[in-house]
Structure 1
Amino acid sequence: ILEEEEDVLMRVIKKVKADFEKAAKDMRKLKTRPDDEELKEPYGLYKQSVIGDVDTECPGLLNLKGKAKWEAWNLNK
């Protein structure tokens, strides 16, 4: 039974990975680019999923775009 459960788990993991990769690819193919505010959540979720917890220091106040991206990523710890 353990081998069967492991097989089911591996199939589920492969399916989730394939779905994730398709969603990431679909985001890059959008006909119109979402505005920066709309991109924050998917950006943060993507970075957390691919890299894990934010691994850099928060950019300074003068780097508004970098700071916004860092904060979006950091929200998903």
Structure 2
Amino acid sequence: MSDLKAAFEQAVADSKNLSERPDNATLLALYALYKQGSVGDNLEKKPGFSDIVARAKWDAWSKLKGMASEAAMQQYIDKLAELE
């Protein structure tokens, strides 16, 4: 396993133990970076208007379309480091 992937997995584990909960915009950014880093481009069906949270997550992830997984992993690690 690459050093970046190991650091990414450690950052994901560390994200569950933050001293305080980040604001919603930060949580959405982390979610999108996590999904882009671990899955790649969003190919899922867009949720309906009635599911506001799922739609916000889908939109945030879709904005990262085309970003390399490695870049998303590094940005996730960097963003989490800012919160610690």
Is the pair's TM-score, using the shorter chain for normalization, greater than 0.5?
yes
The CA deviation string for residues 1-59 of structure 1, in whole angstroms up to 9 with x for no partner, is xxxxxxxxxxxx61111111111111111121112221111110100111111121111
| Distance in structure 2 (CA, Å) of the matches to 1:25 and 1:56 | 25
1:19 has 2:7 as partner: yes
RMSD over aligned CA atoms reads 1.2
Q: Which has more helix, going by share of residues?
A: 1
Question: Which of these residues, 44, 48, 54, is aligned with residue 60 of structure 1?
Answer: 48
Alignment of 1:1-77 (within 5 A): 14-77=2-65
For 1:75, give the aligned amino acid: K
- Structure number with larger C-alpha Rg: 1
Moved over 2 A (4+): none
Give ranges in structure 1 of 5+ residues lacking alignment.
1-12
Instruction: Determine which structure has greater relative contact order: mean sequence separation of CA pairs < 8 Å that are 6+ residues apart, divided by chain length.
Output: 2
TM-score (norm 2): 0.70
Match for residue 76 of structure 2? none
TM-score (normalizing by structure 1): 0.76
State the aligned residue count: 65
Which runs of no fewer than 5 residues in structure 2 stay unpaired? 66-84
